[in-house]
A and B are shown apart, each in its own frame.
Chain A
Amino acid sequence: MARRSMPKQQPYSRTKPRPLHRVLPIRHHASSIPFLLLPAVCLVLSGCVRPEPPADLVIINGTEPESLDPATIVGIPEMRLTKALFEGLVRLDPTNAQPIPALAERWDVSPDGKVYTFHLRTNATWSTGEPITSADVAYSWLRALSPGTAGDYAGQLFYIKNAEAYYTGKIKDPAQVGIHALDAHTVRVELNDPLAFFLDLCTFPTLAVVPHQTIEKHDYRWLSVRPLPCSGAYELVAWRLNDKVRLRKNPHYWDAAHTQSDIIDILPTGSPNTALNLYETGVADIVWDKELVPSELLDVLTKRPDFHTWDYLGTYFNRFNVTRGPLTNELVRKAFALATDRERITRKITRGGEKPAFHFVPDGTANYQPPPGLPFDPEQGRRLLAQAGFPGGKSFPHLQYSFPSAASGAARLQGKIAVELQQMWRDGLGIEVELRQIERKVFYAAQSRLDYDISGSSWIGDYNDANTFLDLFTSNSGNNRTGWRNRRYDELIHQANRQLDLKRRAELFRQAETVLVAEEAPVAPIYFYAGFNYFDPRKITGIYQNILDEHPMQYIRKVKTQPISRIQYSVFSIQSRRAANN
Chain B
Amino acid sequence: MYFLKRLLLIVPLLLVISLLAFVLVRVAPGGPFDRERKPASPEIERQLKAHYHLDEPVWKQYLRYLDGLVVHGDFGPSLKYRNHTVNDIIAQGLPVSMCLGMLAFGFAMGVGVPVGYFTAIRRGHWEDYSGSLFAVLMICIPGFVVGPLLVMFFAIKWQLLPVALWASPAHAILPTMALGLYFSGRIARLMREGMLNTLQAEFITTARAKGLSENAVLLKHAFRLAVLPVVSYSGPLLADLLTGSFVIESIFQIPGIGVFFVNSMLNRDHTMIVGLVVLYATLLVLLNLLVDLAYVLLDRRVKYD
| Complex contact flag A–B (Cβ < 8 Å) | yes
**CA gap between A267 and B268 in the complex, in Å:** 24
Is A28 an interface residue when CB atoms closer than 8 A count as contact? Answer: yes
Is A527 an interface residue when CB atoms closer than 8 A count as contact? Answer: no
Is B68 an interface residue when CB atoms closer than 8 A count as contact? Answer: no
Given contacts A72-B82, A283-B163, A441-B30, are A45 and B99 in contact (CB under 8 A)? Answer: yes
Is B72 an interface residue when CB atoms closer than 8 A count as contact? Answer: no
Q: Which of A30-38, A114-122, A421-429 contacts B (4 or more CB under 8 A)?
A: A30-38
**CA gap between A267 and B168 in the complex, in Å:** 16
Is A217 an interface residue when CB atoms closer than 8 A count as contact? Answer: no
**CB within 8 Å of B: which A15-35 residues:** 22-23, 25, 28-32, 35
Using Cβ atoms and an 8 Å threshold, which residues of chain B touch A9? 121-123
Is B67 an interface residue when CB atoms closer than 8 A count as contact? Answer: no
Interface string of B157-178 (1 = CB under 8 A from A): 1010011111111001000000
Interface string of B89-105 (1 = CB under 8 A from A): 10011000011001101
Is B197 an interface residue when CB atoms closer than 8 A count as contact? Answer: no
Partner of B38, one of A49, A154, A167, A478: A478
Q: By the criterion CB–CB under 8 Å, are A39 and B30 in contact? A: no
Using Cβ atoms and an 8 Å threshold, which residues of chain B touch A273? 148
Is B130 an interface residue when CB atoms closer than 8 A count as contact? Answer: no
Is B81 an interface residue when CB atoms closer than 8 A count as contact? Answer: yes
Using Cβ atoms and an 8 Å threshold, which residues of chain A touch B77? 220
Is B69 an interface residue when CB atoms closer than 8 A count as contact? Answer: no
Q: Which of B7-15, B39-47, B56-64 contacts A (4 or more CB under 8 A)?
A: B39-47
Is B114 an interface residue when CB atoms closer than 8 A count as contact? Answer: yes
Is A581 an interface residue when CB atoms closer than 8 A count as contact? Answer: no
Is B251 an interface residue when CB atoms closer than 8 A count as contact? Answer: yes
Given contacts A45-B99, A74-B37, are A35 and B220 in contact (CB under 8 A)? Answer: no
Q: By the criterion CB–CB under 8 Å, are A147 and B47 in contact? A: yes
Given contacts A242-B259, A280-B156, are A478 and B162 in contact (CB under 8 A)? Answer: no
Q: By the criterion CB–CB under 8 Å, are B266 and A439 in contact? A: yes
Is A213 an interface residue when CB atoms closer than 8 A count as contact? Answer: no
Partner of B40, one of A6, A11, A440, A479: A479
Q: By the criterion CB–CB under 8 Å, are B172 and A69 in contact? A: no
Q: How far is the CB of B80 from chain A (nearest CB, A)?
A: 6
Q: By the criterion CB–CB under 8 Å, are A4 and B103 in contact? A: no
Is A511 an interface residue when CB atoms closer than 8 A count as contact? Answer: no
Interface string of A435-468 (1 = CB under 8 A from B): 0000111111110100000000111100000000
Given contacts A269-B253, A445-B31, are A28 and B202 in contact (CB under 8 A)? Answer: no
Q: By the criterion CB–CB under 8 Å, are A477 and B40 in contact? A: yes
Which of under 10, 10 to 19, 20 to 34, or 35 or more describes the interface residues of B? 35 or more
Given contacts A22-B215, A271-B250, A274-B164, are A152 and B39 in contact (CB under 8 A)? Answer: yes
Given contacts A74-B35, A221-B85, are A277 and B151 in contact (CB under 8 A)? Answer: yes
**CA gap between A512 and B224 in the complex, in Å:** 80
Given contacts A441-B29, A441-B31, are A278 and B165 in contact (CB under 8 A)? Answer: yes
Q: By the criterion CB–CB under 8 Å, are B224 and A66 in contact? A: no
CB nearest neighbor in B for A449:
B29
Is B55 an interface residue when CB atoms closer than 8 A count as contact? Answer: no
Is B255 an interface residue when CB atoms closer than 8 A count as contact? Answer: yes
Is B84 an interface residue when CB atoms closer than 8 A count as contact? Answer: yes
Q: By the criterion CB–CB under 8 Å, are A30 and B109 in contact? A: no
Q: By the criterion CB–CB under 8 Å, are B83 and A221 in contact? A: yes
Which of under 10, 10 to 19, 20 to 34, or 35 or more describes the interface residues of A? 35 or more
Number of A-B contacts (CB under 8 A): 222
CB nearest neighbor in A for B88:
A224
Using Cβ atoms and an 8 Å threshold, which residues of chain A touch B98? 42
Is B298 an interface residue when CB atoms closer than 8 A count as contact? Answer: yes
Q: By the criterion CB–CB under 8 Å, are B166 and A49 in contact? A: yes
Using Cβ atoms and an 8 Å threshold, which residues of chain B touch A458? 36
**CA gap between A446 and B34 in the complex, in Å:** 10
Is A240 an interface residue when CB atoms closer than 8 A count as contact? Answer: yes
Is A349 an interface residue when CB atoms closer than 8 A count as contact? Answer: no
User: Which one of A32, A153, A479 has the greatest number of beta carbons of chain B within 10 Å?
Assistant: A32
Q: By the criterion CB–CB under 8 Å, are B106 and A478 in contact? A: no
Is A578 an interface residue when CB atoms closer than 8 A count as contact? Answer: no
Given contacts A220-B77, A242-B253, are A441 and B34 in contact (CB under 8 A)? Answer: yes
CB nearest neighbor in A for B218:
A12
Is A10 an interface residue when CB atoms closer than 8 A count as contact? Answer: yes
Interface string of A186-227 (1 = CB under 8 A from B): 000000000000000000000000000000000011111000
Is B141 an interface residue when CB atoms closer than 8 A count as contact? Answer: no
Q: How far is the CB of A572 from chain B (nearest CB, A)?
A: 5
Interface string of A251-286 (1 = CB under 8 A from B): 000000000000000011111011001101101000
Using Cβ atoms and an 8 Å threshold, which residues of chain A touch B34? 441, 444-445, 448
Given contacts A43-B172, A74-B35, A151-B44, are A278 and B83 in contact (CB under 8 A)? Answer: no
**CA gap between A219 and B166 in the complex, in Å:** 31
Q: By the criterion CB–CB under 8 Å, are B39 and A69 in contact? A: no
Given contacts A74-B35, A439-B266, A440-B266, are A155 and B251 in contact (CB under 8 A)? Answer: no
**CA gap between A150 and B153 in the complex, in Å:** 48
CB nearest neighbor in B for A72:
B82
Is A243 an interface residue when CB atoms closer than 8 A count as contact? Answer: yes
Partner of A439, one of B30, B31, B37, B155: B30
Q: By the criterion CB–CB under 8 Å, are B93 and A242 in contact? A: yes
Q: By the criterion CB–CB under 8 Å, are B109 and A35 in contact? A: yes
**CB within 8 Å of B: which A224-240 residues:** 224, 240
Using Cβ atoms and an 8 Å threshold, which residues of chain A touch B85? 221
Q: By the criterion CB–CB under 8 Å, are A43 and B169 in contact? A: yes
Using Cβ atoms and an 8 Å threshold, which residues of chain B touch A270? 250
Given contacts A74-B35, A155-B44, A241-B92, are A31 and B298 in contact (CB under 8 A)? Answer: yes
Given contacts A39-B110, A69-B82, A224-B84, 11 further A-B contacts (CB under 8 A): A25-B220, A31-B297, A38-B102, A38-B105, A47-B168, A164-B41, A267-B165, A281-B155, A440-B30, A441-B28, A442-B30
Binding site for A on B (CB under 8 A): 28-45, 47-48, 50-51, 77, 80-85, 88-89, 92-93, 98-99, 102-103, 105-107, 109-110, 114, 121-123, 148, 151, 155-157, 159, 162-169, 172, 199, 202, 205, 208, 214-215, 219-220, 223-224, 227, 231, 249-256, 259, 266-268, 294, 297-298
21 pairs of residues in contact across A and B, judged by CB atoms under 8 Å: A28-B220, A35-B105, A38-B102, A38-B106, A39-B102, A67-B83, A69-B82, A148-B47, A152-B48, A167-B44, A221-B84, A241-B255, A242-B249, A271-B251, A274-B163, A441-B29, A444-B34, A445-B34, A459-B36, A479-B38, A574-B156
